[in-house]
């Protein structure tokens, strides 16, 4: 199962997947590369570090969505790379047809909350400001509803009395770094990937 890691920024979750692969914890999954919609994203440096292709692709002129032409170009690029599973790991752009159609049932997203709670932007800040006693992270299938697809895995993180928003966020990120590679390895054992 060849996995494309799509992101827009830091890339700590893509790094966690690449590290899992390097340490033999990704099972039958292989990272095909990193694709980024921001030319200056630190995530692009993961390519040379882990010996995988790292590619900036123009998403078009909009901030939170693709232009239809550019979305078709992304779909072609990922198809040409022989990608089986698309992983949105900190990818801050809504995916619709034609990219979603090209990878229907073969695209997953990582979100920093216990969905369905706190979907959309800044899931950690939303949970913090709401005073939620716990939050966490979710890996789910991508469908046309933003953060709405069926869940593949969740990890819970408690908010302790001495937490700051920063320490709470750090614990959620650590939970993400463990959960995402685990879900990818599990998916590689399931049809249609196996």
By rule CB under 6 A, what count of residues binds ligand GAR? 14
**Residues 10-39 interacting with ligand GAR (rule: CB under 6 A):** 10-13
Strand order in the sheet with 107-111: 54-56, 30-36, 2-7, 85-88, 107-111, 134-141, 151-158
Residue 9 Cβ, how far from ligand GAR at the closest point, in Å? 4
Contact string 61-100 vs ligand GAR (x = CB under 6 A)? ----------------------------xx----------
Site string for ligand GAR, 129-168 (x = CB under 6 A): ----------------------------------------
Query: Residue 120 and residue 177: Cα distance in Å, rounded?
Result: 20
Of 193, 190, 71, 91, which is closest to residue 146 (Cα–Cα)? 91
140 is catalytic: no
d(CA 20, CA 133): 30
Rounded to a whole number of angstroms, the minimum distance from the CB of residue 17 to ligand GAR is 10
Nearest alpha-carbon partner for 193 in 6, 2, 17: 2
* Cβ contact 129:122 at 8 Å: no
Q: Which residues are catalytic?
A: 111
- List of residues contacting ligand GAR (CB under 6 A): 7, 9-13, 89-90, 110-112, 123, 173, 176
């Amino acid at each position: 199962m060849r996995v494309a890691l799509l992101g827009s920024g830091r890339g700590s979750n893509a790094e966690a997947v690449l590290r899992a692969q390097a340490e033999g914890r990704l099972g039958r999954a292989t990272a095909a590369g990193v694709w980024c919609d921001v030319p200056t994203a630190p995530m692009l440096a993961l390519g040379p570090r882990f010996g995988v292709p790292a590619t900036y692709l123009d998403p078009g002129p909009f901030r939170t969505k693709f232009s239809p032409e550019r979305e078709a170009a992304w779909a072609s690029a990922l198809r040409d790379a022989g990608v089986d599973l698309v992983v949105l790991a900190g990818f801050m752009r809504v995916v619709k047809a034609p990219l979603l159609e090209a990878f229907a049932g073969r695209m997953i997203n990582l979100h920093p909350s216990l969905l369905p709670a706190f979907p959309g932007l800044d899931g950690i800040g939303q949970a913090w400001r709401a005073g939620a006693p716990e939050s966490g992270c979710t890996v789910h299938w991508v469908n046309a509803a933003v953060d709405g697809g069926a869940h593949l895995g969740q990890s819970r993180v408690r908010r302790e009395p001495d937490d700051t928003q920063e320490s709470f966020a750090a614990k959620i990120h650590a939970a993400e770094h463990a959960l995402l590679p685990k879900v990818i390895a599990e998916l590689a054992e399931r049809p249609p990937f196996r």
